[in-house]
Structure 1
Amino acid sequence: MDVDRRQVMAGMGGLAIAGCSKARAPDDRALATENSAAIEPPALPATGAANGVNWASFKQRFMADDGRIVDNGNGGVSHSEGQSYGLLLSQAAGDRAAFDKILAWTEAKLARPDVALYVWRYDPRAANPVADRNNATDGDLLIAYALARAANKWREPRYAARSRAIVDAIATRLVKTVGGRMLLLPGLDGFSTAARTTINPCYYVWPALDLFAKTGNAAVWRRVITDGEALIAAARFGAHRLPTDWIDVSNTGAIAPAADKPPRFGFDAIRVPLFASVSGRSALVEPIRTWWRSMPIEQIPAWTDVVSGQSAEYPLSAGGRAVVSRTLGAHAPATLATDYYAAALQCLAAAFP
């Protein structure tokens, strides 16, 4: 969705991460369901303590005073995904003041008035910073997940209510049955045609989905999880059997690399092994793990074309190496990257137990 950002990131081996309207008071959104604060997520460690990457450094570099997480590699824009990372990391570190600042900015600038989802991109340089009103489901998932964790950590019903509203919106607006599988759409608009639906496999944030399956709409989430696991297990292409950043699912259920995007295991798909490994889904990780083990970590390319076999001429960023390290149990980069996307991925790789 974010063409300019991906072009910038391709040159620096970063990570592609996607991200409205007027602010509304938290109690305008939705009432909590009876069990919205009852699920106790597993505790997250203080972010990155074991890997030399920490929230304090990330906060100092990338969080503005008003709570906006700034993408310094893409003209200072922000995304719902970046805001979700800030929420998750500040919650893990126990920094409630930062959490509330990030949440307040996110609700004021990105919250949609029509549905409990978020505009995916904010460009402070534009006359209308949120001209594209579409959402990005991975950002929405992680915001809901961070809010659920915060609700339990700080016993705050307001967080639980908002998390439940987001989860319900995703379940009702962003889940679609295609080819016999219940799929998680990347956004409200632009991903389905009469013949096919385009999916981003890294939007299956398994720790969040596992938590949602214990709350309302449990039957929907269990089916999304089961069908999503089958989808990603089948989405293995090329000599190394790697997933691509985007895949197409036809109305008959056939799976292929997305027709209108480069068929690469790259800046999006690298999050597939991260979310699978931290959630205990080792079978989904194995082909990637096998390929990564075939070369020194510093030689792993930033992307690989699964059709042609061509690879990037530059290696993974520090963030990408952090994901490899988390997946393989190797030594992670100790210094926080100066580029936002690489630093975000470093911190995310260290954030899950």
Structure 2
Amino acid sequence: MVYKHVMKVLLIVMVMVPSALATSLDWKPFKTRFMASDGRILDTGNHNVSHTEGQGFSMLFAVAANDKASFDKIWGWTKTHLNDPKTGLFYWRYNPIIADPIEDKNNASDGDILIAWALLKAGTRWDNKAYLAESDRIVRALLDHTVIDFAHHKVMLPGRHGFTAKDSITLNPSYFIFPAWRDFAKRSYLANLWTLIDDSQQLLAEIDWGREKIPTDWITLYANGKTAPAKKWPARVSYDAIRVPLYMKWDQANNPLLSRWQSWFSRYSRLSMPAWENMIDHQVANYPMRGGLLAVRDYTMGQLSQEATKIKTSDDYYSASLKLLSALADEGFAF
């Protein structure tokens, strides 16, 4: 009985005392600049729209900062305004200046993953069974509506609609949030999740185009198992694909595929690294990586400093989000 009492006290202390990450994460300036009073997260680089990606990122940041009040506001707004009752997923975009703010009823799988992952983290950190139940429900909905078998791979589509054709599908590798998938798999032990992780890693390993063989923002998977840059978008490693090495290293620091990204980053000095590069013709942006993009580069190269994750006035919502994500990944963010 004494042992149980001591363990209970220790658990309470662990929850009440902020972690090192809670004190170092630059959450307060992020919240001040990008979170409205009702919990809506403003994408300041995109006319102050909101989307599930931003809501999910910010829920994660609030958990890491041990800020339950903000977490509940963000989650409350998300559930009230973006929930799709037909699927159990979320409408991906909210535009407050139009008559119907939900102008696109599709979901974005990465946003749904982030929301479910944040709820799992919150349920664990604050011992809240309701959060855990919501997380489990969203994961099941993701498996039901976005995970398919194609070309001998189990893959997650970027959304329910618009990404499948007769002989090919379109994928966004930055939506492969491996550390979240692994947490979901450990909690549920669903075989589909373990297969999704393995097949998605294999898909990235099989890329055989481009100098570094790294995925562009959007890729096409053909029925014969081959991949190529998706034709509807420039063949760039840019603002989407930059998250691929972040999630890859966050999941497994020794993942051999990271060497491909490190090779790309090593082609340029840190301050001259272009913001994007076309992997087919190798044209590059005429401006360098800054802010959050540079933080991801530094994290991937094992060179991340605390200063690189601090939010500056020049950072918009996305740059600031990448900085905080890099900080979370560098700390491991596990309970």
Calculate the TM-score normalised by the size of structure 1: 0.84
**What SS does the aligned partner of 2:263 have?**
helix
Could you tell which deviates more after superposition, 60-69 or 217-226? 217-226
**What SS does the aligned partner of 1:214 have?**
helix
**What SS does the aligned partner of 1:147 have?**
helix
**What SS does the aligned partner of 1:286 have?**
helix
Question: What is the CA–CA distance in structure 1 between the aligned matches of 2:293 and 2:281, rounded to whole Å?
Answer: 22
Question: What is the CA–CA distance in structure 2 between the aligned matches of 1:253 and 1:287, rounded to whole Å?
Answer: 21
Residue 322 (structure 2) pairs with residue 349 (structure 1): no
Q: Cα deviations across residues 64-86 of structure 1 (Å, max 9, x unaligned)?
A: 10001101111110010000011
- The residue identity in structure 2 corresponding to 1:108 is T
**What SS does the aligned partner of 2:188 have?**
coil
Matched with 2:265 is 292
Q: Cα deviations across residues 115-152 of structure 1 (Å, max 9, x unaligned)?
A: 11111100011111102010000010011011001001
Q: Cα deviations across residues 239-271 of structure 1 (Å, max 9, x unaligned)?
A: 232210111011121111112111111111000
The one of 291, 304, 308 equivalent to 1:318 is 291
Question: CA separation of 1:299/1:189 partners in 2, compared to 1, >3 Å: closer, same or farther?
Answer: same
After TM superposition, list the pairs within 5 Å mapping 1:156-305 onto structure 2.
Answer: 156-216=128-188, 218-280=190-252, 282-305=255-278
1:331, distance to aligned residue in structure 2 (A): 4.0
**What SS does the aligned partner of 2:169 have?**
strand
Could you tell which deviates more after superposition, 60-69 or 272-281? 272-281
- The residue identity in structure 2 corresponding to 1:70 is L
**What SS does the aligned partner of 2:224 have?**
coil
Question: What is the CA–CA distance in structure 1 between the aligned matches of 2:20 and 2:328, rounded to whole Å?
Answer: 7
The one of 332, 336, 343 equivalent to 2:311 is 336
The one of 86, 106, 113 equivalent to 1:134 is 106
- The residue identity in structure 1 corresponding to 2:30 is F
Question: CA separation of 1:287/1:168 partners in 2, compared to 1, >3 Å: closer, same or farther?
Answer: same
**What SS does the aligned partner of 1:112 have?**
coil
- The residue identity in structure 2 corresponding to 1:139 is G
Give unpaired runs (5+ residues) of structure 1. Answer: 1-42
The alignment of Structure 1 onto Structure 2 pairs a total of residues equal to 308
Matched with 2:119 is 147
1:55, distance to aligned residue in structure 2 (A): 0.6
Identity over the aligned pairs, expressed in percent?
39
The one of 121, 126, 129 equivalent to 2:93 is 121
Question: CA separation of 1:45/1:232 partners in 2, compared to 1, >3 Å: closer, same or farther?
Answer: farther
- The residue identity in structure 2 corresponding to 1:219 is A
Cα pair 2:309 2:323 within 8 Å, conserved = no
The structure with the largest helix share of the pair is 2
Question: What is the CA–CA distance in structure 1 between the aligned matches of 2:297 and 2:208, rounded to whole Å?
Answer: 18
Question: What is the CA–CA distance in structure 1 between the aligned matches of 2:60 and 2:22, rounded to whole Å?
Answer: 9
1:215, distance to aligned residue in structure 2 (A): 3.1
Runs of 4+, deviation exceeding 6 Å = none
Question: What is the CA–CA distance in structure 1 between the aligned matches of 2:123 and 2:304, rounded to whole Å?
Answer: 33
Q: Which has the higher contact order (CA 8 A, sep 6+)?
A: 1
Question: What is the CA–CA distance in structure 2 between the aligned matches of 1:263 and 1:86, rounded to whole Å?
Answer: 29
1:307, distance to aligned residue in structure 2 (A): 0.6
Question: What is the CA–CA distance in structure 1 between the aligned matches of 2:215 and 2:261, rounded to whole Å?
Answer: 9
Calculate the TM-score normalised by the size of structure 2: 0.89
Give unpaired runs (5+ residues) of structure 2. Answer: 1-17
Cα pair 2:309 2:327 within 8 Å, conserved = no
